[in-house]
Structure 1
């Protein structure tokens, strides 16, 4: 008689116990120390569903015949030929060697972009880069799709990106001291479900309830009312998308106009404030930035803006800014403008006051700070320094040799001949996927290593099947989590899948670097080594005792040393000369000498309102602003077919929300199939009519598996990135501009709805491979 086995594990959406019977997942139980576990954990059995898995190593037939001389437009069209692991790893090693020897290592783009799983050993991106660094290096990316422009500007103006990486005021301090909380964007458990590297306890809801219980005045600035939970008594300001910068500057200008700005704080703790003050007063361009000015841009009332400006100075005030705001054209500006507004108020460094970025954008932002070392396998020293900003992949592939700028430096795009993508799906997260599809035909060889037959894997030359985290041993943990968590193997690998460590170790062997890659350790040797490094660090630096490895592995978790009740920049505020920031002045930069010298029109020497390329202020009749945010039922495109994700769909497609007045004007009814389009592409979705969306705004979550059909390329699953704009935020930050996007919407004609049948056929074909 079989017995149910209990296996501790962790994913990006939290820790849990997997219940296994006869190598089959029969249930999932939340982690006992998690006060608000994510429902996504109940979808993990989908990983064991073979329908979307890569069953064995495979090579595109045309590439197998002609290698680098193959017809690259055959990607995604030609059949795959199964090969042995020995042949597959030989082909990969030979390609790495060929490209490096012929064109140089900069022509290898290691495009991996994390998020495959939370494990710190089998982290596909890190292992790929570790291997390639041992054979001469590669071209990498910097920053992330989630957040790029924001960290760039904060590194320049605050000296680090700590304020948007979970090191600003902790939420317990806000819950205890803040009197006025202004939420720009979201503060939602929907996005706080997830955390890179895993999370033990979801605390956002606990802190939000304390904030509500204290009666804190909450102003919620977002086009979406449900960016805050409905039980939070907030005043909703349905702002025009992409205009938060104007509101922040209008509030700052209103404070300055009343002579209530904190001149002492500006003098002691900031540099270049005179540049920003001249701009706010209208001396720079002849237009004063105040409540009336901001109201005309943001679509809000001038009176309510002026009243809030007074309250921000009269009370202990905290500004929170979502990561999503900087994923837009000129995305550096809302982060910098929020810093400017907080500096005018003068409460930075006081408990419950100032500004922080990214609360709820990940589950660990705002949680007590993990003080000790976090587990991670080293990528080793980089032999070459070749990189691109993460969201400029299509630009790189389409324009080899063309110069680009980043943080004031001019570089050139490499001549990319080989792309190796492990553990990621750019056909989910990149913008303007039709442009990416054209760029994807340029490299000579594309290798994809992934558990799932994603749209990216379907368009590869060589596909290597990796195991999911439930088919191997690992551990989870990161600097925003108060636990290190065991990730024990729950089931045997599906098909011929192998762990990422084993795959790269085999390739490293054929490249002659296996001993340096594995350092004499196998899987469990590395898991033990990574844990013991953290345990040793906690003991030596903090006198904190973590259990020995065997005890940790048996229990499934270990506590880490943390610091609660943290106030960001408190020491700097008190003694700025003794605790200087790593900026051009040692202070908070409100007027930048560096940016003044660069003289970029799209990133000026002070925070500024600059019209985005597409926004409702210049929209034509019938155009709507598209917001493509993180869905509630999955992480990105992971577990897209799991029960939590399917529950968010209707009629097999993603749901697109729009206001009842817009729906009526367009002749759209709730539940109807709609066509969404612009000059970049078109997709289908199911209409959801809701009064929790601002007029002229359409909300379509990211993550639907990219499924274009027929000669038209109509995307039938509801992937918004066939529509989004593929331009950098500015010459300085070069982040993605996904939230700067105008579209048109109409009821879908019957003949286009029939294309969904092709979508189902595609899934069936994948299952048959």
Structure 2
């Protein structure tokens, strides 16, 4: 074999969730990563791919010593505290197959919880979630999860109010080019953070949101940023910043609605024609039933936004074409359904829903596709097969499930029972990143008999597993890259051979399927390349501008023509406005449900039948603020996707003394003797973690921000309550459903205290 220096470099493309990159490799090593030249605003995260062969790589199958001890009748150590033993593939696969068969035969398929969060790869075939679900369904099914950690509350409330799925509603967002032409004012709750717009599930060829927003600003669109963080809207947009106490967005919207109502500025004709239930809401708004008008003064006391500004802003919203945007982050809080429901209600009172550039949008800046105007392409995916097991949980209720088997819980009008889970199989995700109250999860994680994980890197989830199977990264396999919210297809040819003994998920599941007698059902006799050709052929049926597969595979990238059969964003609300009788919404009334009889009948005190202000379990206006006077927000990091490539260069360069950076207002820092760059202790009753202080006046007083995604590294592995050493905010966040309706995560409802860290005074 030639030395690396003499080996001609190989150039390939890859698609990631944060963009398309050209890779240069030689001699089995990745040498360089460059953004695709067609991307006007590429993400720097691509440079982190160079850490593919990192010391954290899982290079061989590993089995926990504690799990082996338990199988031999000895006392088992707590998960997370035990060492691992490397095993050859054939032996560990025999053990996995045997354990799957034992649990199925003894407890039934309901006792298997198959978790995956779908972000592992932008590839259409090597999509970890699809691979795992297909495999489990060939075995007779599994307990699954519904909704997600990103917008679970919105996912459940939107169909009740508008009669469509939340995902389809994202396509209802007016294109930002349309906003530039028509919109005078964008009122955005939670901002439009460009750091989030660099991401798109499945990838994106071109990052367009930044330039589209610039164009809107140049053409006279004004932005008002309602957020604790000024930087949630780019400085170049010159947005007005209205600092708002976290979790009080609904109260501000109610104050705006009250002004429109009492001053008779709301669009009565629109409300009467296109909505139902306003009569109930109009009793709540002035306080007819409870004696408390939801006026600007009331809203000011809760939110911190001056009453005069609230009244003036309400008048501005109806004076010209306006649009209300709500970020995903706003609904990841106690009663997170309410701000989305209230935003729709406020937009209905303004009366511009369905007009060009008017009404509401959910998620500008949450991902790159929302409002970018790119024609959508229906990308094929690996068929998942049917799950014969009708057992599921809302995804954020995993600790509840493991800790309380057999207990009943409410979800979206149904009374469900938590199954008794004996085996957890996790592929393509890291619950010790995205779940809340990790000390509680750590205790819950001890309950199953077996936990199996596929992982390229030794994440916290892998560290707390019993069996860890080394998986390839997208750089080590062949795939098709492309998102249904984009118009670029990438030939993801393998750039380097698998690191160590890593195998792709399909190869692992194929070997397990062989042992369990379902090989033909799982593979259908197809190899990796056979599946890629099959998926590509399905795509060519509806896109006649695609070349033959071999041509595409050689050229590397295909951009779909604007005149191809790509489906345009739907215009459901526009058609409804123009012809409400011919194009009714799929709600019980056929209209926008400001009041929902269905939700009212559920009888949930934490989510009644119309939008309301409900005091959060923790907030700066509550009693707990006496003991923990800072509101912690845990947002998406700018330097990685969730916890992916946390060890990469872009993520590591943003650390402070190797710790995740905590943003804190100068006044709050001064009061605690904290200076920029100090190591600080962040604590509450749920946990403690270290972080590096980043003092900034872009953050309102009383609020701190610690991004998600740092490793979960407790000082005492496996011991709940131990000091977390890397800056993982989820040792602090609250594991409580948004309400009985959605049971979504409420991570943004969290109070803490911060102090300068003194190692000598810490017993850990």
TM (norm. structure 1) is: 0.95
Equivalent-residue separation in structure 2 for 1:344 and 1:68 (angstroms): 67
Structure 2 distance, partners of 1:404, 1:622, is 30
Aligned to 1:157: 161
Distance 1:70 1:360 in 2: 52
Determine the structure 1 residue equivalent to 2:373.
368
Q: Which moved more, 1:630-639 or 1:153-162?
A: 153-162
Mapped to 2, the partners of 1:690 and 1:508 lie a distance apart of 54
TM-superposed CA distance for 1:185, in Å, is 0.5
The structure 1 residue matched to 2:696, chosen from 679, 684, 690, is: 690
Secondary structure of the structure 1 residue equivalent to 2:690: strand
Q: 2:740 aligns with which of 723, 731, 736?
A: 731
Q: CA deviation at 1:475?
A: 1.4
Counterpart contact for 2:183–2:323, Cα < 8 Å: yes
Q: Per the alignment, in what secondary structure is the counterpart of residue 36 of structure 1?
A: coil
Indicate the residue corresponding to 1:650 in structure 2: 656
Within 5 A, what are the aligned runs for 1:116-515? 116-160=120-164, 161-162=166-167, 165-368=170-373, 370-515=375-520
Give the equivalent residue in structure 2 for 1:553. 553
1:11-90 aligned at under 5 Å gives the runs: 11-49=16-54, 51-67=55-71, 71=75, 73-90=77-94
CA distance in 2, matches of 1:444, 1:72: 11
Stretch moving more, 261-270 or 432-441 = 261-270
Task: Tell me if 1:676 matches 2:692.
Answer: no
| Comparing 687-696 and 359-368, the one that deviates more | 359-368
**Contact map agreement 1:370 1:479 (CA 8 A) in 2:** no
Alpha-carbon deviations, 1:151-184, whole Å to 9, x = none? 1000111112146544422222112211111111
The aligned counterpart of 1:762 is none
Preserved contact between residue 377 and residue 567 of structure 2 (Cα < 8 Å):
no
Superposition map of 1:535-550 within 5 A: 535-539=540-544, 545-550=545-550
- Aligned 8 A contact 2:70 2:76 in 1: no
Of residues 160-169 and 463-472 in structure 1, the stretch that sits farther from structure 2 once superposed is 160-169
- Equivalent residues of 1:373, 1:538 under 8 A apart: no
Residue 726 of structure 2 is matched in structure 1 by 717
Of residues 559-568 and 116-125 in structure 1, the stretch that sits farther from structure 2 once superposed is 559-568
1:613-652 alignment runs, 5 A limit: 613-618=617-622, 619-620=625-626, 623-652=629-658
Preserved contact between residue 404 and residue 413 of structure 1 (Cα < 8 Å): yes
Q: CA offset at residue 750 of structure 1?
A: 2.8
In the alignment, the residues of structure 1 paired with residue 255 and residue 285 of structure 2 have an alpha-carbon distance, to the nearest angstrom, of 8
1:13–1:195 Cα contact (<8 Å) kept: yes
Q: Distance in 1 between matches of 2:746 and 2:236?
A: 31
Deviation at 1:46, TM superposition (A): 0.9
Q: What corresponds to 1:572 in structure 2? A: 576
- 2:111 aligned partner: 107
Aligned to 1:751: 760
The separation in 2 between residues aligned to 1:671 and 1:574, in whole angstroms, is 57
Is the contact between residue 68 and residue 445 of structure 1 (CA under 8 Å) also seen in structure 2? no
SS at match of 2:7: coil
**Contact map agreement 1:242 1:325 (CA 8 A) in 2:** yes
**1:683 CA displacement:** 0.3
Structure 1, residues 701-726: CA drift from partner, whole Å, max 9, x if none?
11000010037610010000000000
1:69 CA drift (Å)? 6.3
Q: Which residue of 1 aligns with 2:705?
A: 699
Q: Which TM-score applies when normalising by structure 2?
A: 0.96
C-alpha displacement at 1:566, in angstroms? 6.7
Q: Distance in 2 between matches of 1:718 and 1:194?
A: 23
| SS of the residue 2:93 aligns to | helix
Distance 1:163 1:308 in 2: 30
Query: Aligned residue for 1:764?
Result: none
User: What does the per-residue CA deviation read over 1:732-766, in whole Å, with 9 as the maximum and x for residues that have no partner?
Assistant: 010000000000111101336898xxxxxxxxxxx
Further displaced range: 740-749 or 93-102: 93-102
Number of positions where the alignment pairs a residue of Structure 1 with one of Structure 2: 749
Q: CA–CA distance in 2 between the matches of 1:120 and 1:485? A: 10
1:601 to 600, 605, 608: 605
User: Could you tell me which residue of structure 2 aligns to residue 542 of structure 1?
Assistant: none
Provide closer, same or farther for how the CA distance between residues 616 and 373 of structure 1 changes in structure 2, counting only shifts above 3 A.
Answer: same
Deviation, structure 1 residue 65: 4.0
The alpha-carbon deviation at position 306 of structure 1 amounts to: 0.8
Aligned residue for 1:19, secondary structure, equals strand
8 A Cα contact 2:628 2:684, kept in partner: no
What residue in structure 1 maps to residue 3 of structure 2?
A: none
SS at match of 2:11: strand
Gaps of 5+ in 2: 1-5
How far off is 1:623 after superposition?
A: 1.3
**Alignment partners' CA distance in 2, 1:694 and 1:384:** 48
| d(CA) in 2 for partners of 1:532, 1:255 | 55
- Give distance in 2, aligned partners of 1:638 and 1:754: 32
Q: Is the 8 A contact 1:166 1:358 kept in 2?
A: no
1:369 and 1:312 map into 2 onto residues whose CA distance is 28
Deviation at 1:442, TM superposition (A): 0.3
Change (3 A) 1:162 1:464: closer
Contact 1:471 1:491 in 2 (8 A): yes
1: CA distance between counterparts of 2:628 and 2:154? 32
Whole-angstrom distance in 2 between the partners of 1:455 and 1:166: 35
